[in-house]
Structure 1
Amino acid sequence: MEAIFSVLPVYFFILLGFTAKKIFTNQIDEKTLVLISLYFFQPILIFWGLTKSPINYEFIASPIAYLVIVLFCLVLLLLLNKKIFTNRTDQSIYLAVALVGNTGNLGIPLGIALFGIESVPYTSIINIANILFIYIFSVYFFAREQFSLKEAIYSILKIPGIWFALFALFVNYQEISINKHIYTALEMGAYTSMVIQLIIFGMYLYSVKIKTIPWYSSLQISFVKHILLPVVGIIIVLNFTNLNSYVASILIMELMVPLAVNNVNLAALYNCKPFDVAASVLISTALFVFFLYFYIEIIRYFIK
């Protein structure tokens, strides 16, 4: 029950964004918030997460394992996407969105509810791995609809989150201390990033109509996120890693969270059917509420 209540703030801020767009339909431009989030607050979130705890084995191994699992599933999707979708834009959305979970806005508070405050360093670093996947692979698949391969790669390099991640790893590795007042400002910016993303999602949901939801693509994406990715993750974690049971449980939980709101940000940034992407995130989030109890029981069963 505590785990369910822990996600209520997430839905509160989504509803807040939905209500704001309904009241101020023509006065609020959601793309402005997308740009502010992507280029200002998310780099702060990345830097904060990567400097939160010193580097140790689990701190490095858990995000690497996460990326291995996601990249393995990406290879499977690359082999299947043309058989599932005939439209290239739908293929791009499928590849860009289906493996990107809400590891920050939802994963961090859910981790606290299930595993305690000690889980925050691990959920944060896994969230950073997820963000790196977004900024490299998801950005490429979204951008390729408008740009050539060279231009798509260049658009990736323009995303500041990548450079902030590298700088944060350097600061952490060199054990450079951060002034407590600066760290407080970073923490404020990190949580602001999470709130803004949820509000953006709510604003895009306002324009999603039940009759126009792309059910086929949304359910295909949800199958990957809620069935394929967790199953592959459990197999790899149990058989090919030596993570302790605590960190392994956190990793599997992060693989089970619904689609990330950040998917909507990038779809809007590159004009790649953002309302369809918002609908897919909505359906995934609704399914997660239904699956949450079973996910918790699976984690308890497989990770002793």
Structure 2
Amino acid sequence: MTVLDPATLMGPLWTLLAYIALGWLAARRLAIDPRPIATLLIYLVAPLTFFRGLVQGGPTPDYLLLTLAAFLVSSLLALAVHRLTRHRFPPQESALLAFSAGTGNTGYFGLPVAMVLLPPEGVTLYLFCVLGITLYEFTVGFYLSARGQFSVADSLTKIVRLPLVYAFLAALVVSGLELTVPEAAMQGLAVFPATYTLLGMMIIGMTLGRVSLREIDGRFMAACVAVRSVMWPLLALGSVLALQSLVPLSREMAMALLLLGVVPMAANVVVVAMELGIAPAKGALAVLATTLAAPLLIPLYLTLMMRLAGL
């Protein structure tokens, strides 16, 4: 059985924290407004990153089934949390909590860990699950977040304007028709994943640079941590055990699912909150807390879950 050494996580962790620190310095010393950067990420950088990843992955029906399953699970989980919290938290906080419930830091943080733990086939399985979660973020998740501030009609209008959905459809058309994207274009798109990570984490720091102590909301943070650090690990483990009892489940697939359940909160919680103006400071604090706890929790969780799943 593979045991994850906490040192494995220190490289990704320190890189992400360095990006957060750069964002904090930019906000404190240069007075940079993170709102335009959030808009840039949502409407330009994320769609191009998503398109490149899907085209490079060579989607097959089996892989796309994983994407669909991850999308549905994320959406149902977010809807359930929204229903449970909408009468217990103010509208904006409930919307942000629901959005965060359906996603996690599967890309910026989870992918480097997946590349250490999994063989190439396992990484591919993991990536197509991540694509489904990303698709949730910019459709159902974005809608739930918008509903904390806007009407149903306005929220749906914002969804229609999001280019990531069209990037997803364009990638499917390119792959389905076996079209070839020029090599020069793919090389040009290669800069976007790193840009997405850098700017996404810097926005957290920029938001924290404007946070005062009175904005710390222990109740909201506890709810976010409970969803990410309790509900998701239980869901991932339950899914693996259920699938093992129904069909032959490869070790790579099981590990990919378990890893999805133990990553910290998604940086996109802050990106979307910033774009929609729904409590970005509270979201940034919760994301930072779960990211700092990740080197301790992920090895503990994965080791225990692997043992329970017989891996």
Structure 2 residue 295 is matched with structure 1 residue 292: no
Q: Secondary structure at the match of 1:38?
A: helix
Q: 2:103, 2:42 → 1: CA distance? A: 16
- Indicate which of 11, 19, 23 corresponds to 1:6: 11
Structure 1 partner of 2:33? 29
Structure 2 partner of 1:45? 49
Alpha-carbon distance change, 155 to 283 in structure 1, aligned in 2, over 3 angstroms: same
Query: How far has the Cα of 1:86 moved from its partner?
Result: 4.0
- Indicate which of 276, 295, 299 corresponds to 1:270: 276
Is the contact between residue 20 and residue 202 of structure 2 (CA under 8 Å) also seen in structure 1? yes
Look up the equivalent residue of 1:36 and give its one-letter code.
Answer: L
- CA deviations 1:96-154 (Å, max 9, x no partner) are 22222011111111111221455443333222211111111221122123322122111
Q: 2:257, 2:61 → 1: CA distance? A: 14
Look up the equivalent residue of 1:122 and give its one-letter code.
Answer: L
The alignment of Structure 1 onto Structure 2 pairs a total of residues equal to: 301
Structure 2 residue 198 is matched with structure 1 residue 195: yes
Q: Which consecutive aligned stretches of 4+ in structure 1 deviate over 3 angstroms post-superposition?
A: 116-120, 240-243
Look up the equivalent residue of 1:54 and give its one-letter code.
Answer: G
Q: 1:213, 1:169 → 2: CA distance? A: 43
Structure 1 partner of 2:112? 109
Structure 2 residue 263 is matched with structure 1 residue 257: yes
Q: 1:60, 1:303 → 2: CA distance? A: 27
In the superposition, the TM-score normalised over structure 2's length comes to 0.89
Q: 1:70, 1:298 → 2: CA distance? A: 23
Q: Secondary structure at the match of 2:58?
A: coil
Structure 2 partner of 1:62? 66
Structure 2 partner of 1:231? 234
- Indicate which of 128, 132, 140 corresponds to 1:129: 132
- Indicate which of 72, 75, 96 corresponds to 1:71: 75
Structure 2 partner of 1:18? 24
Is the contact between residue 201 and residue 264 of structure 1 (CA under 8 Å) also seen in structure 2? yes
Structure 2 partner of 1:146? 149
Structure 2 partner of 1:162? 165
Q: Secondary structure at the match of 1:177?
A: coil
- CA deviations 1:11-57 (Å, max 9, x no partner) are 22122212222221x2x111121111111111111101111222335
Q: 1:254, 1:229 → 2: CA distance? A: 8
Deviates more, 1:53-62 or 1:212-221: 53-62
Deviates more, 1:247-256 or 1:65-74: 65-74
Is the contact between residue 16 and residue 202 of structure 1 (CA under 8 Å) also seen in structure 2? yes
Alpha-carbon distance change, 99 to 303 in structure 1, aligned in 2, over 3 angstroms: farther
Q: 1:236, 1:143 → 2: CA distance? A: 30
Q: Percent identity?
A: 21
Q: 2:66, 2:310 → 1: CA distance? A: 15
- Indicate which of 283, 288, 299 corresponds to 2:289: 283
5+ residue gaps, structure 2: none
Q: Secondary structure at the match of 1:176?
A: coil
Alpha-carbon distance change, 177 to 303 in structure 1, aligned in 2, over 3 angstroms: farther
Query: How far has the Cα of 1:188 moved from its partner?
Result: 1.3
5+ residue gaps, structure 1: none
Q: CA RMSD in A?
A: 2.1
Q: Secondary structure at the match of 1:259?
A: coil
Structure 2 residue 241 is matched with structure 1 residue 213: no
Deviates more, 1:247-256 or 1:61-70: 61-70
Look up the equivalent residue of 1:89 and give its one-letter code.
Answer: Q
Q: 1:266, 1:167 → 2: CA distance? A: 23
Q: 2:70, 2:255 → 1: CA distance? A: 12
